[in-house]
A and B are shown apart, each in its own frame.
Chain A
Amino acid sequence: MEKSTDAELMGQVLKKNTRAFKILYSRYEMRVYNFILRYTGNKEIAQDLLQETFTRVWFAAHLFNLETGNFRGWLYTIALNIARNEMSRKRYAYDYAEVSTIAFKDEPVNPRTEEPDAAVERADLQNAISQALLKLSPLLREIIILKHYQQLKFKEIAEMTKTPEGTLKARFHRAIAELKELLDPREL
């Protein structure tokens, strides 16, 4: 079953096979989690939304087209909608940027391989990147995450978001320009 395609596994998920569901989860957990984490900038929210995304996959399996469906695109569409809904709620609108600054504090420093100063510098740089990304408007952040981090093609993103490819590319150019402004040149 480990070598089955996503569509084959979804066929099994439709029959309520939890083993197939777990394989699918293992294939995509990191990607979906990091997608949501970069979108929201908050580990707790990302954790909750990852759970919500896969719960929806289980319950909405009958909506997936086993013949022609692209599971990755379908999964990202679910995750994106959940993340968009969550971030549109006002309760996170004011504090998510601050929360993101603690995103790297719990990452251990290996004293044998990394000097403490270098580790601090690395954490500062990571925070600067995450802060800059979180300062972008949601649509610009979305395109950077889907294109750069998730390595999706513009065509796939266009299908997922129901947005013309040209619009997405224009957003990408704008996002790059804004990121350049936001990031200090010495940090690049």
Chain B
Amino acid sequence: MSHENKDTLLALFYHEVTLPEAQKIREHLADCEDCRKYMHLLNQMDSALNQWPEANPLPDTFDRILATIPERWHASHVRPAVSARPIFNIAFAMVAILLLIYFVQSRMSQLPFWPAFEQNWLVQTLGSYGFVALVFFGLGAFITLALAPILYFDLNKRTLHI
């Protein structure tokens, strides 16, 4: 039997055809053994599937739904409180870095070779504080990059162990 015929039989079985169409298919069924077999199969499966009865949900389900609505509404509408902590942290770190630069610069200026060092073009370009800041951040970047692979592999190892 062709696929098209099966679709037509399915439409007839589920009453999705017009009356004249249904009449035409029934006439065809009288002459076609294959189609009758397929209709029989549809009937068999229909009665088999009807053996699985309907079940009832718990009677308090609607109350449970209503109970969860305010929680979810609250969660989706209330903005999390804005915390000033990260701003304070950043400000604190910046002040600490500036103080450190100031401290290092004042110490370096007391060194005996400082007057000669001050003639260097880089120090003259950046200024003494700028130079200290450059050294400071350069060192910081170097240490971070040097530690990065160790930290990366260590973290990965830990993840694997977990």
Expressed in whole angstroms, the minimum distance between the Cβ of A127 and any Cβ of chain B is: 9
Name the B residues within 8 Å of A188 (CB-CB): 44-45, 47-48
Compute how far the CA of A188 lies from the CA of B3 in the bound complex, rounded to whole angstroms.
Answer: 25
Q: Which parts of A158-188 form the interface with B (CB within 8 Å)?
A: 166, 169-170, 172-173, 176, 179-180, 183, 187-188
A81 within 8 A of B: no
The reply to whether B48 and A179 form a contact with Cβ atoms under 8 Å apart is yes
A95 to chain B, nearest CB (A): 19
- Tell yes or no: A153 within 8 A of B by CB: yes
Q: Are B52 and A129 in contact (CB under 8 A)?
A: yes
Which residues of chain A have C-beta atoms less than 8 A from B65's C-beta?
Answer: 25, 51, 54-55, 58
A133 close to B (CB within 8 Å): yes
The one of A25, A43, A179 in contact with B55, judged by C-beta atoms closer than 8 angstroms, is A43
**Contact (A58, B69) CB under 8 Å given A129-B52, A148-B46, A148-B49:** yes
Binds A, one of B6-14, B24-32, B137-145: B6-14
B3 and A176 form a contact (CB under 8 A):
no
- Chain B residues 49-77 with CB under 8 Å of chain A are 49, 51-58, 61-62, 64-66, 68-69, 72-73, 76
B42 part of interface (Cβ distance < 8 Å) = yes
B16 at the interface (CB under 8 A from A): yes
**With A and B bound together, what is the CA distance between A26 and B59 in angstroms?**
11
Q: Which residues of B contact A22 (CB under 8 A)?
A: 62
With a cutoff of 8 Å between Cβ atoms, the chain A residues found around residue B10 in the complex are: 169, 172-173
Q: Assess the A47–B58 pair: CB atoms within 8 A.
A: yes
What residues of A have a CB within 8 angstroms of the CB of B16 in the complex? 153-154
Count residues on chain A whose CB falls below 8 Å from chain B CBs. 44
Secondary structure of the A side of the interface? helix
- The answer to whether B62 and A25 touch across the interface, beta carbons within 8 angstroms, is yes
Smallest beta-carbon distance A125→chain B, Å: 5
Q: Known: A55-B72, A172-B10. Contact between A149 and B58, CB under 8 A?
A: no
A29 to B44, CA, bound (A): 29
Beta-carbon contact of A33 and B7 below 8 Å: no
Closest to A155 in B: B16
Asked if A133 and B52 make an inter-chain contact with CB atoms under 8 angstroms apart, the answer reads yes
Which residues of A, 20-50, contact B by the 8 Å Cβ criterion?
22, 25-26, 29-30, 33-34, 37-38, 43, 46-47, 50
Interchain CB contact under 8 A, B14 and A147: yes
Bound Cα distance from A29 to B62, whole angstroms: 9
A180 x B54 contact (CB < 8 A): no
Nearest CB of chain B from residue A152's CB, rounded to whole Å:
10
Which of B3, B44, B49, B68 is the one whose CB lies under 8 Å from A51? B68
- Contact at A30–B56, with CB atoms within 8 Å? yes
Assuming the contacts A51-B64, A147-B14, A148-B46, asked whether A126 and B57 have C-beta atoms less than 8 A apart, the reply is no
A77 at interface by CB-CB < 8 Å = no
**Does B56 contact A38, Cβ atoms closer than 8 Å?**
no
Q: Which residue of B lies closest to A177 (CB)?
A: B41
Smallest beta-carbon distance A26→chain B, Å: 8
Q: Which 6 A-B pairs have the closest CB atoms?
A: A33-B57, A129-B52, A188-B44, A169-B7, A34-B54, A129-B51
